[in-house]
Structure 1
Amino acid sequence: MANFGSDNASGVHPKIIEAMALSASGMAPAYGVDELTKSVEQRLASLFETDVTALLVGTGTAANCIGLATFCSPFGGIFAHAESHIANDESTAPELYTGGARQFTVGGDDAKPNLEELVQKIDVSGARGVHSVEPAVIAISNLTELGARFSPDEIAAYSELAKSLGMKLFIDGARFANAVAGESDSPADLTWRAGVDALSFGATKNGAMAAEAIVFFNKSAAVNAERIRKRGGHLWSKHRFLAAQFDAFLDDDLWLANARHANQMGQSLKSQLQAIPGIEFASVSEANELFVRMPKAQAEALWECGHAFHEWPSLEGTYRLVTSFTTEQAEVDAFCADLRALATDG
């Protein structure tokens, strides 16, 4: 049976497990001053084709919130899409790490913030000077929370707005690998060349056990990030095991191979679903996340067959299907065969 519940439900790639095991012997300096961590930061600089400050952490929440807190004061404002992970799935961690900053949300197709709404929201939120918040960060996700991909030109439009207002642009890149794997744009094209200040570069959903990198393209702006990480409890003492995961993740472009496979499985699933009567899509679904509209009875029947996926709370009658680096074509085919039979019987 197919498990399309989440790419977080996937296992750890054997090469990453092997790298962690190889790092387990002997002694190494603690708290991120080991040679492997230094090497990984240099490898990330090479990947992004520019000098970076890269901090490794064990969770996506830490990566996002430490990144945001670096740019946003307690009296600041963070602006994102209403569907964004930052606004909906980080509990109050952004408020905790920033010391009380306020979040504002706007609409927009495929979970991409509408620029006109963004301008209006920022203008209104800061209109009363000291009595208002100080607009600090525009946050977008690539992939978006509804599975869409941003182009470099789209990202640049947000950057231009942010820079014109003295704000920073942050990308939640939990599925950044899937965004890169989907087109020919490089990691640099989708970040600093388009004006991005910082990115949370996710590995956990894409083959790692627990590893995310906060990549700062403006090194001077990252001056407080290390202290925020320490204060927040995310500076690992045995830091080499975070670095080992990223070292293997980057070797031979494993990160891209894993993401390409997940995307290919997602698009294979999409192609088959498009041919089934009554199935509709709630978003463009350009990579490994699909948002599918189907009758509730069909969804329940698929669950009874043993398939795993989730109803999406903010879109009525919509179900999220997520493929991963471990998804097999046989799972895609079995799911679609069962749904096809249900659609025919109905």
Structure 2
Amino acid sequence: MLNKISWIKATSIATFTLLLTSVSANTLANEVNIYTYRQTFLIEPILEKFTAQTGIKTNIVFAKDGLIERLKKDGRYSPADVVLTSDFARLMQISDEGLSQPVSSDILATNIPSQFRDDNNHWFALTKRVRNVYASKDRMASLSGVSYEELADSKYKNKVCMRSSKHPYNIALVASMIAHHGTAETKTWLQGLKANLARKPQGNDRGQVKAVKEGECDLALGNSYYFGVMQQNPEQKVWADAVNILFPNQNNRGAHINVSGIAMTKYAPNKASAKKLMEFLSSAQAQQVYASVNMEYPVNPAVKPSSIVASWGSFKEDELAMTKIAENRQAAIKLLDEVKFDL
């Protein structure tokens, strides 16, 4: 039997817990918690517009790594409602590891083409980027077009630079090659591409363009938005000025596309607010700002790219569904190991 003091303490705790639950329910309904791999300054302008229009507060947790591990550790007690990713690989990881939930929305279905969303609505792309080839203006001036397949041609021996093949951007490209050509042909392509490397894979995408500028190689693989980033950076502009940005495979299937995106977490405490945020980010208004700030292409087909991005020229994009790339991701990793690409 509880003594008087214990009874009062137990009653107080119960009352406080009930009050806290009630307050939290009212508060949480009007906010959304965001885990993001995209830097805060890139998304804050859009989130401010979202809050101004909806009254829903946004709370941001940014990290370059570890957010998915944090989701798994916290389980059903995780405060996260959505995860914003800067690449497709993390979107797939969230879905594959059972950390997301489906979102049924006519708005998302209308604004985002089926090619750029999960068949079961577990993830949605928000922006697109191209895996471009950058060519030296001085040494490759006559090169106006190229294909990914051609990068394995012996005429480009010791002329190609790229970052690690195990980076998600390159894994996705290899996965797309498998989808188009099959495993055997893609393995042969990888062997030819490796033989044409001017140096061991290293650095980031901008580092490859720098290497072209400095004469280490003539061609480099890199994402389109880095070109815009370099053009806006006084120190790196000389790198961008030294190359032409080429959109591969314009005579056949089109240039390889990768995406950034969003997923609602499995235990999202603010599902209604999270859904509103996802729908807002797919809207024309948000897409215009989001894609412009990130130097990327809007995924919403009704929205045009920014003037800087548009200045790189129009192009044909590969219409391969992102789900097909996902299906071949592990096969791509296996092939890269077999050919010892980075060694």
TM-score (norm 1): 0.29
User: Which structure has the bigger radius of gyration?
Assistant: 2
